[in-house]
Amino acid sequence: MIYARVAGTGSFLPGKPVTNDDLVARGIDTSDEWIAERTGIRARHLAEPDVTASQLAYEASVRAIEAAGCQPADIDLIIVATSTPDYIFPSTAALLQARLGIANGGAAFDLQAVCAGFAYALATAEKFIRSGSSKRALVVGAEVFSRILDWSDRGTCVLFGDGAGAVVLEASDRPGILATALHADGSHNPILCVPGQVNRGSVTGDPFLRMDGQAVFKFAVKVLSEVAREVAEQAGMPLDAVDWLIPHQANIRIMQATGKRLGLPMERVIATVAQHGNTSAASIPLALDQAVRDGRIQRGQRLLLEGVGGGFTWGAALLEF
């Protein structure tokens, strides 16, 4: 039996933290109290205008490859989950492959499932590995969401941040990923979207993130609870046996509500939303890497990763680390 096992993790955040008070100082009509109370967010990182998703992806990938004890040339599949690619094309994954100096490598492609992107990318890479098509995959979530925020809309601009996280996933006869589940329901697309496009040299539609916060909140708690149960059932493991829940980092209240529904106390939930804000596809691997590096996550522990995002899309992976 071939398993896909996490061999190493890495992450990268651009620049210094930008606190809620810094946003107030920049003229946004908000307060640290409002943001912290409604979301748990205290700070986020914002990339300089010339920093792109592939650069953030590169920094996170170098760290993950080093942690895995391999070389870029050993990577035979790259999947980058992003909604804020450098270009329309080529893909951010192809640009990352070039930055890593991998010539004549395996497949490299972007995956677009917004904040569920990392769960989608991990599940996809797992299938390449289990089928024998790939031996060592680099799976990345990288975002510069600051580029698609309407900084005059206080209801959204305070929530998001930039960053990247990566894992090296390799073929192993020891258990790694035990179960995955992916879902989508496109009928909910209007509640979280960036409804614009490049058309004949200019932008048509609206190129900024638009969200119905309350509708997203309710939907997120429901599907995150359902999909967590689904992967636990698929793996034949009680939720009780999960050491760490690593949810998409959108709002601490969504994480608390999900943890409560699943019977997992907050002591077993990795939460980085206070320092990172919502970094979309980067949020799960950023949280994972932080908890691996600070020693909370140990080899052999069972991790439940889950995300939900625009589309709507959602998914989860249960794995032995």
User: What positions carry a catalytic annotation?
Assistant: 115, 248, 278
Q: Within 198-227, which residues bind ligand UT7 (CB under 6 A)?
A: 211, 213-214, 216-217, 220
Q: Which is nearer to ligand UT7, 72 or 247 (CB)?
A: 247
Question: What DSSP assignment string belongs to 206-245?
Answer: --S-EE-HHHHHHHHHHHHHHHHHHHHHHHT--GGG-SEE
Reduced to 3 states (helix: H, G, I; strand: E, B; else coil), residue 246 is strand
**Contact between 99 and ligand UT7 per CB under 6 A:** no
For residue 267, with 0-12 CB atoms within 10 Å meaning exposed, 13-18 middle and 19 or more buried, which class applies? exposed
For residue 145, with 0-12 CB atoms within 10 Å meaning exposed, 13-18 middle and 19 or more buried, which class applies? buried
**Contact between 238 and ligand UT7 per CB under 6 A:** no
**Using the rule CB under 6 A, which residue among 15, 69, 101, 155 binds ligand UT7?**
155
CA distance 97 to 64: 14
**Contact between 309 and ligand UT7 per CB under 6 A:** yes
Mention every residue, 6+ apart, whose C-beta is less than 8 A from residue 52.
86, 144
**Using the rule CB under 6 A, which residue among 5, 11, 13, 39 binds ligand UT7?**
39
**Contact between 154 and ligand UT7 per CB under 6 A:** yes
**Looking at the DSSP assignment, which residues form a beta bridge with residue 180?**
317
In angstroms, how far is CA 44 from the centroid of its own chain? 15
Q: Which is nearer to ligand UT7, 3 or 314 (CB)?
A: 314
Q: Which is nearer to ligand UT7, 250 or 282 (CB)?
A: 250
**Contact between 38 and ligand UT7 per CB under 6 A:** yes
Residue ranges in contact with ligand UT7 by CB under 6 A: 30, 34-35, 38-39, 115, 154-155, 158, 211, 213-214, 216-217, 220, 250-251, 254, 278, 309
